[in-house]
Amino acid sequence: MAGLPGWGFGPIRPYSGDPKQIDFDPPVEYSTGNGRHYWVFRDLVYSTTETLTAADVKALALEAENKVKARLSRARALMAQVDVLEHGGREPIPDDVKMFVWQRDGGKCVRCGSNRNLEYAHIIPVSMGGANTARNLQLLCEGCNRAKAGSLV
């Protein structure tokens, strides 16, 4: 760990002692040797060259655990963003929904009545949680859809 020479980054190995005592909390120093102190915390063994209290070991172990959790959270979020980019970002509108909306809206823009450059537009944008359902879709011409531009009106 940065700032504490000799503190192991994380657990060395799972504790292999008495299974009845696998959940050590607070940490227990169980061995010293060659200038190292070995601690059992929860079910893991930690090593340090520093003389620490059980509270110090617990704080450092929990900090390391939280750093790993935060790193995993960031990695999962990044993976989800990459997945969205690689797969187009949204589900396609089902054909039966498109047909229903076309018939319901009479094949024309619901705002200006044009029948040119029509687009299926979300009433509640997908970015705000809108779905690809007939209740949330309308036909708009390209101009009216751009004027709407992600708003709810």
Give the number of C-alpha atoms closer than 13 A to the C-alpha of residue 98, restricted to the C-beta side.
7
At 139, is the secondary structure helix, strand, or coil? strand
More confident residue, 86 or 68: 68
Q: Which residue has the tokens 């959790």?
A: 69
Please state, rounded to an integer, the average pLDDT across all residues of the chain.
82
pTM of the model: 0.45
Two tokens at 57? 């070991």
**E strand or H helix at 31:** strand 24-33
Q: Could you tell me the pLDDT band of residue 11, with boundaries at 50, 70 and 90?
A: low
pLDDT band at 15 (very low <50, low <70, confident <90, very high): low
Which CATH number, 3.40.50.620, 1.10.30.50, 3.40.50.2300, 3.30.420.40, labels domain 95-148? 1.10.30.50
Assign 127 a pLDDT band (cuts: 50, 70, 90): confident
Q: Is the pLDDT of residue 48 over 80?
A: yes
3-state secondary structure of 54: helix
Residues of the chain with CATH 1.10.30.50: 95-148
- Confidence check: pLDDT of 28 > 60: yes
Q: Which of 66, 16, 19 is nearest to 38 (CA)?
A: 16
Local confidence band at 120 (pLDDT 50, 70, 90 cut-offs): very high
d(CA 6, CA 79): 33
Question: Which helix H or strand E contains 97, and what residues bound it?
Answer: helix 95-104
Residue 26's pLDDT band (cuts 50, 70, 90): confident
pLDDT band, very low/low/confident/very high, at 30 (cuts 50, 70, 90): confident
